[in-house]
C-alpha cells in the first residue's frame, strides 16, 4: 500500500507590508486637483482684493495706451531676465522655452504665497522634472536668492553717482528703528537656521550636502562666462525692468517725477522693505513706493494710482494666464 501523501505545509503570511496601490481613477483625480489648485487660489485672492483690481483698472482706462504698451513690454522682458538668472544659477542646460514658461507660471504662484515660496516651489519642481537632483536644485535656488539682492546694490550706486543732485536721499533713508530691525533680521535669520540644523540631527546631513553642492556649483558657474553674464547680468537688469514698468505707468498718468527718480524710488523701496514676507511684496513695497514717489514731489493720489496701475499690469493682468500655464505644465508633468 502506497503511503498517504503528506499535507502541504501551510503558507506563512508575509511580514512585509503591502505597498499601497493607487487606482488609476484616484491618480487622475489627484493630478486634476493639482492642476486646478492654482486657479482656485487665484480666484480666492481675486475675491479678497477685488476693490484694488477694479480701482486700478478704472484708472488705467484713462491713461495713455502707448505708455501702457511699453509697460507691458517691460513686464515681458522681466520674465526673460528671471529665466536668465535661473539658467545662470545652475550648471545644467535647461530648455529655454520650458524655462521661460516655468518662470511665467512661477510669477502667478509667487503672488499667492509669501517670501517667494511659490516661485521657488514651482522652479524646484521644474528642475526636478528635468532630472536634476534635489540637492543641486536647492543649491540653485539658494544661489538665485543670494545673487538677486547683491546685484541690486551696484545698480543703486550707479543711480546715486549718476544723479547726485536730484535724488533726495535724506527722505528715503529708513529711520533707526527700521535699520535696527533689518540688521536684526540679517543676523538672526542665518543664526536661527544654523541653530536649527545643529539641534535637529536629521537635518545635518542634507544641510551639509546642500552647502557643499552650492559651493561646488558656484565655483563651477563662475568659470563659465556665459553663466556669469546670465546670473549677475540678469539679476542686475531684472529690478531695472520692473522699475521701468512703474515709470511707464507713471508717464501714462502724467506723474511729475522724472524717469530716473521713479526708477530709483522703486529700487530704494524694494531694498528697504523687500525682505518682508508678503505675497509678491504686495503691501509693504506698495506703501514704500507711494512714500518714495511723494518724496520726489508726486501728489499722493497720483502716486497711489501709479502703484495700483503697476500692480494691475504686473500681477493681475498676467495672473490668470500664468495660472493656466502652471496648470498646463502640471498636466504635461513638467512640474
pLDDT digits (tens, 9 = 90+) for 244-276: 999 999 999 888 888 888 888 888 777 655 555
Comparing 37-41, 73-77, 214-218, 322-326, which segment has the lowest mean pLDDT? Answer: 37-41
State what percent of residues in the chain have pLDDT above 90: 22
Contact (Cβ atoms closer than 8 angstroms) between residue 87 and residue 94: yes
Report the chain's mean pLDDT, rounded to a whole number. 76
DSSP 8-state symbol, 168 = -
Mean pLDDT is highest, among 52-56, 70-74, 208-212, for 70-74
Which has more pLDDT, 208 or 185? Answer: 208
The pLDDT value recorded for residue 229 is: 95
pLDDT digits (tens, 9 = 90+) for 152-162: 888 888 887 87
- 56 to 63, 199, 268, 294, 321: CA distances (angstroms): 11, 48, 23, 19, 19
pLDDT digits (tens, 9 = 90+) for 1-41: 455 555 544 444 444 444 444 566 665 555 555 545 544 55
pTM above 0.85, yes or no: no
The pLDDT value recorded for residue 24 is: 60
Contacts of 104 (CB under 8 A, 6+ apart): 79, 318, 321, 322, 325
**Length of the chain, please?**
335
Residue 100 has pLDDT above 60, yes or no: yes
- 161 to 165, 166, 169, 171: CA distances (angstroms): 9, 11, 12, 17
The pLDDT value recorded for residue 242 is: 92
> What whole-number distance in Å separates Cα of residue 335 and Cα of residue 130?
9
Per-residue pLDDT, averaged over 121-128, amounts to 90
The pLDDT value recorded for residue 13 is: 46
Q: Is 12 exposed, middle or buried (0-12, 13-18, 19+ CB in 10 A)?
A: exposed
Contact (Cβ atoms closer than 8 angstroms) between residue 254 and residue 262: no
The pLDDT value recorded for residue 237 is: 94
The pLDDT value recorded for residue 199 is: 67
pLDDT digits (tens, 9 = 90+) for 188-229: 656 666 666 666 666 667 777 778 888 888 899 999 999 999
Contact (Cβ atoms closer than 8 angstroms) between residue 153 and residue 221: no
Match 507590508 to its residue by C-alpha cell. 17
Amino acid at each position: 500500500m502506497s503511503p498517504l501523501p503528506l499535507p502541504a505545509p501551510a503558507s506563512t503570511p508575509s511580514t512585509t507590508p503591502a505597498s499601497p496601490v493607487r487606482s488609476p481613477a484616484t491618480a487622475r483625480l489627484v493630478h486634476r486637483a493639482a492642476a486646478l489648485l492654482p486657479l482656485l487660489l487665484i480666484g480666492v485672492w481675486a475675491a479678497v482684493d477685488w476693490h484694488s483690481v477694479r480701482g486700478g483698472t478704472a484708472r488705467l482706462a484713462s491713461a495713455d495706451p502707448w505708455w501702457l504698451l511699453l509697460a507691458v513690454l517691460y513686464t515681458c522682458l522681466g520674465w526673460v531676465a528671471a529665466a536668465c538668472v535661473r539658467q545662470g544659477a545652475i550648471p545644467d542646460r535647461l530648455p529655454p522655452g520650458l524655462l521661460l514658461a516655468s518662470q511665467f507660471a512661477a510669477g502667478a504662484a509667487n503672488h499667492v504665497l509669501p517670501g517667494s515660496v511659490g516661485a521657488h516651489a514651482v522652479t524646484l519642481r521644474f528642475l526636478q522634472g528635468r532630472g536634476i537632483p534635489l540637492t543641486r536644485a536647492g543649491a540653485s535656488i539658494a544661489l538665485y536668492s543670494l545673487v538677486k539682492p547683491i546685484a541690486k546694490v551696484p545698480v543703486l550706486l550707479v543711480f546715486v553717482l549718476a544723479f547726485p543732485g536730484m535724488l533726495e536721499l535724506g527722505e528715503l533713508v529708513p529711520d533707526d528703528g527700521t535699520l535696527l530691525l533689518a540688521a536684526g533680521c540679517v543676523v538672526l535669520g542665518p543664526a536661527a537656521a544654523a541653530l536649527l540644523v545643529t539641534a535637529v540631527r536629521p537635518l545635518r546631513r542634507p544641510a551639509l550636502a546642500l552647502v557643499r553642492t552650492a559651493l561646488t556649483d558656484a565655483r563651477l558657474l563662475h568659470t563659465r562666462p556665459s553663466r556669469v553674464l546670465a546670473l549677475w547680468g540678469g539679476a542686475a537688469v531684472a529690478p531695472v525692468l520692473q522699475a521701468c514698468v512703474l515709470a511707464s505707468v507713471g508717464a501714462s498718468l502724467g506723474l511729475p517725477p522724472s524717469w530716473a527718480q521713479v526708477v530709483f524710488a522703486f529700487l530704494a523701496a524694494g531694498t528697504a522693505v523687500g525682505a518682508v514676507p508678503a505675497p509678491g511684496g504686495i503691501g509693504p513695497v506698495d506703501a514704500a513706493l507711494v512714500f518714495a514717489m511723494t518724496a520726489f514731489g508726486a501728489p499722493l493720489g497720483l502716486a497711489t494710482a501709479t502703484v495700483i496701475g503697476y500692480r494691475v499690469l504686473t500681477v493681475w493682468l498676467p495672473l490668470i494666464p500664468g495660472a493656466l500655464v502652471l496648470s498646463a505644465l502640471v498636466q504635461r508633468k513638467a512640474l
